[in-house]
Amino acid sequence: ALVSMRELLDHAAANGYGIPAFNVNNLEQVQAVMEAAKETGAPVILQASAGARKYAGEPFIKHLILAAIEAYPDIPLVMHQDHGQSPDVCQGAINLGFSSVMMDGSLEADGKTIASYDYNVDVTRKVVDMAHKVGVTVEGELGCLGSLETMKGDKEDGHGTDATMTREQLLTDPEQAADFVKRTQLDALAIAIGTSHGAYKFSRKPTGDILAIDRIKEIHRRIPNTHLVMHGSSSVPQDLLAIINQYGGKMKETYGVPVEEIQEAIKYGVRKINIDTDIRLAMTGAVRKFMAENPDKFDAREWLKPAREAAKKICKQRYIEFGCEGQA
């Protein structure tokens, strides 16, 4: 059944676990997440980015998720708009039936210019006003995602900015976070702690200087009742990179957010953990392997099946690691 994100995150906070929020844009990904949730007894957050809505088309995104609810009526499911760039985008998602929206006011509506604090408060507050009227949950973002190794912002797929930033901009300030929550009344807060979107997050296994888990603890101490959200939380498993490269891929050496660090963050108020890249890596590796081993096959279902299977496997793993088992 479709539920609000507030409901799921409140339950996660009361019971001390975190929920992976998986990005989806096609049928096989939706099925993979739902099967993984069914097999582990986990609640589901399916999220669609602006890019996903553009790729599949809004009716398809909407009805893929509605199909998931129909096929798995017993699983609580949140339909979430990821990285809404303006109040208008969020309003559009609400009209489409999303039960949760993210107003990402860390950047202006062009998705590039670093927003002022007042701008962020203003647009987020606006979205809270319209969303709460109809029972929709709101996630906001304070601080800019980006690398503490290169001091550059996160520029994934043409949105975001790769401008050089200060440590201040790349790390959410606990005092400002408290003020932000108070002024916007949002339900969940995405924070910046050195993670970025995509596969190339860290050039080495991250340590505290480039992945600031301690900052989460400081924020949580200041606003213990606010649900925190971690973006750019793929772990970029080395074995998935190895499969891709073994079967003709050319991915460079790279590291993601270790699962142990996410588990530590869950102890300090992180309730929603955004994952897209790991699913992409799993599916790509499976397809490359299948194609290499079966050069005579041409039925798309035959190669989509192992891709879906690989996606399900990583989703199940994260549900278990984040403590979701039996929580639905």
Report the catalytic residues.
Answer: 82
- Cα angle 130, 66, 325; round to 5: 95
Q: Answer for the pair 229, 272: CB distance below 8 angstroms, yes or no.
A: yes
Residue 201 as a binder of Zn ion (CB under 5 A): the answer is no
Q: Name which of 51 and 237 has its Cβ closer to ligand G3H.
A: 51
Query: Using CB under 6 A, which of the segments 119-127, 174-182, 215-223, 275-283 binds ligand 13P?
Result: 275-283
- Considering only residues 226 through 285, tell me which ones interact with Zn ion, judged by CB under 5 A: 231, 274
The correct pick among 82, 139, 141, 261 for binding ligand 13P (CB under 6 A) is 82
Give the residue ranges of DSSP H helices in 16-109: 27-40, 50-56, 58-71, 87-96
Count residues near Zn ion (CB under 5 A).
2
- What residue ranges bind ligand G3H (CB under 6 A)? 23, 49, 51-52, 82-83, 156-157, 197, 276
Residue 83 CB, nearest distance to ligand 13P (Å)? 6
Q: How far apart are CA 23 and CA 274, in angstroms?
A: 8
Mask of contacts with ligand 13P, 11-30, x by CB under 6 A?
Answer: ------------x-------
Residue 234 as a binder of ligand 13P (CB under 6 A): the answer is yes
CB nearest ligand G3H: which residue?
51
44-48 and 19-23: which strand pairing?
Answer: parallel
Partners of 159 in beta bridges: 156
- φ, ψ of residue 158 to 5 degrees: the values are 85, -15
The correct pick among 28, 141, 261, 276 for binding ligand 13P (CB under 6 A) is 276
Helix (H) or strand (E) holding 298: none
Residue with tokens 């339909």, as numbered in its chain: 79
Amino acid at 297: K
Q: Name which of 34 and 190 has its Cβ closer to ligand G3H.
A: 190
Q: Name which of 1 and 243 has its Cβ closer to ligand 13P.
A: 243
Q: Name which of 184 and 195 has its Cβ closer to ligand G3H.
A: 195
Amino acid at 86: S
Residue 275 binds which entry of ligand 13P, Zn ion, ligand G3H, none, CB below 5-8 Å type-dependent: ligand 13P
Q: How far apart are CA 171 and CA 145, in angstroms?
A: 8
Q: How far apart are CA 230 and CA 258, in angstroms?
A: 13
Q: Answer for the pair 169, 144: CB distance below 8 angstroms, yes or no.
A: yes
Residues that bind ligand 13P (CB under 6 A): 23, 82-83, 197-198, 231-234, 274-278
